[in-house]
Amino acid sequence: MINTDKKINEKKIGLFDSGIGGYSVLAELFKTLPSAHYFYVSDDAFAPYGPKSDDFITERSFIIAQALKEQNVELIVVACNTATAASIDRLRVKFPDMTFVGVEPYLNAYYKIPVGLTPAQKKMMVLTTESTGKSERFKRLKERLDPDSQIDHYGLVNLAKLIEDFYYSPNDREQFYKSLEEELAFLKPHRYSFAILGCTHYPLIRKKIEKILNLKTISPDAHIAQRVLALSGGDEAINQNLIPDFYNFFSTKNNIWIKKYRASLLGPFKEIKL
């Protein structure tokens, strides 16, 4: 008889981002596929990816994918919109024996809003980093999923960095809130009803974004987790005794694998009061 609990527990899934943005995806995976072992690479020695060329980001992606392959992961989530746009197609060619799941803005959300809403009630934008917004992959995605240009697009310059910096230096919470207000202030007069979050950093503070802009946010994180679940063999029968307390973390600044408690994943973002 096959020990299915053991089989589930041996699943190894890798994720990477230029920093901690991919934690928004990892948090969903902890809920959706809790028994797997996770290996997360923060490429913080080369962050942010935004100003970098596609070729540079792809080279970094190759190096990280190889490092994750050496950890015997079965599937890699490119948990960064910028890296997905720049490199996922070439990753699939470079590593044909690996499964890759990318992260892209959930642009078909506009056409899934319940019928009966007025145009004002459906008013929607997508927020990305500048780099993602300028990428050919994003442009093609928007042309395909939003052919009637119903969704406005804005590339934010500093938001991802603000979120990253606050995670590691959370002492001045009020200054962080002030900086967020300043970064998003130009969007307030447009009175959007929905904002698609097109960077994995953004969902880490989605409730704060919703409060500042008085709207609802849309993120693909849960859909990504469901996609990973499907590619990993479908629904699992969870044995609580086999759920690890830790995940494996690698910072390219520190160049060493360490174990971190899953419960500490979201750090100061769990404590943001709205």
Longest dimension (CA), the chain: 63
What is the residue-wise DSSP string for 86-112? HHHHHHHHH-TTSEEE-----GGGGGG
Half-sphere exposure of 91 (CA within 13 A, CB side): 29
Q: What is the DSSP pairing of strand 256-261 with strand 246-251? A: antiparallel
80 is catalytic: yes
Tokens representing 75 are 């599937």
Q: What angle do CA 151, 156, 158 make, to 5 degrees?
A: 165
Three-class DSSP category at 260 = strand
Marked catalytic residue, from 80, 141, 204, 215: 80
Question: Is 199 part of the annotated catalytic residue set?
Answer: yes
Sheet holding 246-251, edge to edge: 99-101, 75-78, 12-17, 37-42, 246-251, 256-261
Of 196, 199, 205, 224, which residue is the catalytic one?
Answer: 199
Crossing angle for the helix pair 136-145 and 81-94, to the nearest 10 degrees: 100
Q: What is the DSSP string of 8-47?
A: HHT-EEEEEESSSTTHHHHHHHHHHSTTSEEEEEE-GGG-
Tokens standing for 177? 């809130």
Q: Which residues are catalytic?
A: 80, 199
